[in-house]
């Protein structure tokens, strides 16, 4: 059944699933902040124990989710507000060390596939300073303290024949940064979160995990330095749409007396039985299909500027 299970990279959605089932997760602490003025909601979830990590299926650490309802709109002022909030959240997760920092930004993903091109596009737009500092020193920027920012786009295994982890680890060994920021596109459980949610975590990232293409992870254990992962969901599993449609169909049919007998039978199905039905409907043609919004080109362009501006604010 795991092959057909609805996938999500968002820790927030994993927790919401437990809430729907009225299951309390011990060892997981949650705090929420609301910015009513700009309709931004920030949820901080800290997995504190091994039992909590096992229940959530995610490593121990801090997961911050920024939800911005209007992030899909072409409003530069609003995106600037999101960037400022993002910079604040990034600083919250940075290692406790005296300034300045040496930062490596890794743009994960495939530049040739639009929903997966977020990472490379962000690196294109960040302010790279390491080479200038090495050549001319900090006074080239007219500042007393300047963070050394470098960037790398490792591509995907089909393009390079190498794991992203191998390429990034080589860059880390040569440049010795204090922290790495990994940017990647994610998969979501809910279509309403596509392009409107940013997840920041200090646990690192597993490239391709959201679409079932598990690669070697990037974390402090694998690359030797703290890794802060930033991701935005750009795709949703086809099974999610089928599942949501089935639930909406059941709710709509319950409102009509002619169909109540049928809905009683459908409501009697538990989650596993519903997924079994979905498997039969999707297999074998559609069970590996992922869906992305039709305006994904513009969405990736806007999001890449929003994330890069947040990074520039955090490290400028």
Task: Please give the Cα distance from 234 to 296 (Å, whole number).
Answer: 8
For residue range 207-217, what is the model confidence (pLDDT) as tens digits? 655 455 556 78
**Percentage of residues of the chain with pLDDT beyond 90:** 49
Neighbours of 258 (CB within 10 A): 7
Q: What is the pTM of this model?
A: 0.85
For residue range 101-143, what is the model confidence (pLDDT) as tens digits? 999 999 999 999 999 999 999 999 999 999 999 888 888 887 7
For the chain, the structural domain boundaries read 10-239+289-315
Split at pLDDT 50, 70, 90, the class of 39 is confident
Tell me the pLDDT of the chain averaged across its residues. Answer: 84
Task: Please give the Cα distance from 32 to 58 (Å, whole number).
Answer: 20
Pick the CATH number of 10-239+289-315 from 3.40.50.2300, 3.40.50.1450, 3.30.70.270, 3.40.50.10490: 3.40.50.1450
201-to-32, 183, 265 alpha-carbon distances in Å: 16, 11, 42
Query: Does the pLDDT value for residue 239 go beyond 80?
Result: no
């Amino acid at each position: 059944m795991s092959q057909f299970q609805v996938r999500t990279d968002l820790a927030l959605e994993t927790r919401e699933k437990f809430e729907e089932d009225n299951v309390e997760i011990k060892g997981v602490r949650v705090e929420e902040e609301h910015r009513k003025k700009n309709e931004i909601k920030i949820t901080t979830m800290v997995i504190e124990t091994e039992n909590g990590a096992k229940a959530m299926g995610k490593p121990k650490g801090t997961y911050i989710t920024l939800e911005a309802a209007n992030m899909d709109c072409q409003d530069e002022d609003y995106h600037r507000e999101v960037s400022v909030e993002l910079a604040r959240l990034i600083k919250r997760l940075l290692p406790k060390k005296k300034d300045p920092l040496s930062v490596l930004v890794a743009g994960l993903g495939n530049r040739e596939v639009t929903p997966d091109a977020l990472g490379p596009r962000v690196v294109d737009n960040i302010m790279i300073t390491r080479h200038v500092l090495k050549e001319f020193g900090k006074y080239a920027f007219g500042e007393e303290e300047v963070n050394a920012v470098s960037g790398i786009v490792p591509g995907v295994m089909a393009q390079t024949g190498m794991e992203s982890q191998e390429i990034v680890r080589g860059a880390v060994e040569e440049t010795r940064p204090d922290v790495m920021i990994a940017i990647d596109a994610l998969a979501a459980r809910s279509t309403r979160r596509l392009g409107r949610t940013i997840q920041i975590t200090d646990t690192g990232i597993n490239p391709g995990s959201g679409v079932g293409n598990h690669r070697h992870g990037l974390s402090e254990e694998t690359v030797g330095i703290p890794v802060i992962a930033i991701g935005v969901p750009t795709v949703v599993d086809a099974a999610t749409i089928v599942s949501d449609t089935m639930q909406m169909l059941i709710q709509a049919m319950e409102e009509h007396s002619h169909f109540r007998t049928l809905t009683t039978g459908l409501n009697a199905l538990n989650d596993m039985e519903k997924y079994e039905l979905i498997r039969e409907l999707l297999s074998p043609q559609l069970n590996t299909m992922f869906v992305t919004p039709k305006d994904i080109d513009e969405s990736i362009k806007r999001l890449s500027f929003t994330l890069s501006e947040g990074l520039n604010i955090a490290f400028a």
